[in-house]
Amino acid sequence: MNAYLHCLSHTPLVGYVDPAQPVLDEVDGVIAAARERIAAFDPELVVLFAPDHYNGFFYDVMPPFCLGVGATAIGDFSSAAGELPVPTDIAEACAHYSMKNGIDLAVSYCMQVDHGFAQPLEFLLGGLDSRPVLPIFINGVATPLPGFQRTRMMGEVIGRFLTTLNKRVLILGSGGLSHQPPVPELAKVDAHMRDRLLGSGKHLPPDERELRQRRVIEAAEKFIEDQKSLHPLNPVWDNQFMTLLEQKRLGELDAVSNEELSAIAGKSTHEIKTWVAAFAALSAFGDYRTEGRYYRPIPEWIAGFGSLSARSQN
Ligand SMILES: O=C(O)CCC(=O)/C=C/C=C(\O)C(=O)O
Ligand SMILES: [Fe+2]
């Protein structure tokens, strides 16, 4: 019974607004090395913690956490589209286990997911369908957001469930680190966008989808020129965060409020809760050791871009 973890930033901007070739090569090398470690581990099951960006979850019902018993990726920003191979029996057992152990995990039998889920599966496993996957959504943009403590506790319970399976489990966290791309906020949008955020955005007309993507691309192009045009990246905080995970000090994050995190590192930094859940889940397997730590602020992707693996020591 053992587990391997990989946490990786994602970006919808890859292929649209890219950094210089040497940086791109460096990131490609980091991802290729992680992919090799994962292939050597040969996971029998993948658990993927990831956020959404108003593509699958809306304010009609916005859970803090949701397990996809069935899930389909929409293929936004040229990410992979299609069904995720979710093992129904394991997903249902996971949902029951969580409920019995103090975590009110929502379930969806038709969860719609975006690049936040698709990208790590493509980059680290070669596609959406290479291994059975349990997709777990963590709300990282639509306030009110879950806090660090609750997210850590959710990850711990999922991890304890995973230890009962007697399988080689790969635990993935997708998103972060410091960043604030243009994502609409309910309190600030006009009536049309409000309607989208309340649920009509689930099936966007192609021209509106195109406009939405263009808005993010244009923001990135501007951010390269002027890093005050959005919330600045925060490499100091990002590195401190990665060190906390390496040193197994996850609990210290409980004291950081959501408002503080937004102010320190930007409003989409809440995506790092996927890393917290992933490390908390790994900790259920006992001691762990990290490897392959990488970090670079990449303005072209509006991202403090990080990558970190860890393996359980049992
Ligand atoms: O509603 C929108 O326009 C959302 C735009 C969007 O999807 C941005 C995503 C950015 C990231 O996933 C990221 O930088 O983590
Ligand atoms: Fe994101």
What is the SS3 assignment for 11? coil
DSSP letter (8 states) at residue 145: P
Question: Would the CB of 77 count as within 6 Å of ligand 1?
Answer: no
Question: Would the CB of 186 count as within 6 Å of ligand 1?
Answer: no
H or E element: which one contains 92? Answer: helix 88-100
If 0-12 CB within 10 Å is exposed, 13-18 middle and 19+ buried, where does residue 65 land? buried
What is the SS3 assignment for 89? helix
Question: Would the CB of 196 count as within 6 Å of ligand 1?
Answer: no
The protein residue with its alpha carbon nearest to ligand 1, atom 14, reads 11
User: Could you give the CA distance from residue 35 to residue 239 in angstroms, rounded to a whole number?
Assistant: 22
- What is the per-residue pLDDT for 1? 63
Q: Choose which residue among 189, 196, 216 to substitute to test ligand 1 binding: the one with the highest number of ligand atoms within 8 A of its C-beta.
A: 216
One pLDDT digit (tens) per residue for the chain, 314 residues: 699 999 999 999 999 999 999 999 999 999 999 999 999 999 999 999 999 999 999 999 999 999 999 999 999 999 999 999 999 999 999 999 999 999 999 999 999 999 999 999 999 999 999 999 999 999 999 999 999 999 999 999 999 999 999 999 999 999 999 999 999 999 999 999 999 999 999 999 999 999 999 999 999 999 999 999 999 999 999 999 999 999 999 999 999 999 999 999 999 999 999 999 999 999 999 999 999 999 999 999 999 999 999 999 97
Number of CB atoms found within 10 A of residue 101's CB: 14
Of the listed ligands, the closest to the CA of 54 is 1
Concatenate the DSSP letters of all residues of 208-237 into one string. Answer: HHHHHHHHHHHHHHHHHH-TTSSPPP-HHH
**From ligand 1's centre to the CA of 58, what distance in Å?**
14
**From ligand 2's centre to the CA of 175, what distance in Å?**
5
User: Could you give the CA distance from residue 110 to residue 269 in angstroms, rounded to a whole number?
Assistant: 27
What residues contact residue 123 under an 8 Å CB cut-off, 6+ apart? 8, 31, 35
Q: How far is CA 9 from the centre of its chain?
A: 7
- What is the per-residue pLDDT for 314? 75
Torsion sign (Cα): 38, 314, 5, 25: negative
Of the listed ligands, the closest to the CA of 211 is 1
Q: Choose which residue among 49, 53, 74, 218 to substitute to test ligand 1 binding: the one with the highest number of ligand atoms within 8 A of its C-beta.
A: 53
Q: Choose which residue among 183, 204, 217, 273 to substitute to test ligand 1 binding: the one with the highest number of ligand atoms within 8 A of its C-beta.
A: 183
Catalytic residue annotation: 115, 179
What residues contact residue 249 under an 8 Å CB cut-off, 6+ apart? none
CB 285 within 8 A of CB 2: yes
ipTM of this predicted complex?
A: 0.96
HSE-up (13 A, CA, CB side) for residue 149: 5
pTM assigned to the model: 0.98
DSSP letter (8 states) at residue 122: H
Give the residue carrying structure tokens 């955005």: 201
Spatial strand order in the sheet of 71-74: 81-84, 71-74, 111-113
Pure H helices in the chain: 21-41, 88-100, 115-125, 148-163, 191-197, 206-225, 235-246, 258-265, 273-283
Question: Would the CB of 6 count as within 6 Å of ligand 1?
Answer: no
Question: Would the CB of 173 count as within 6 Å of ligand 1?
Answer: no
Question: Would the CB of 183 count as within 6 Å of ligand 1?
Answer: yes
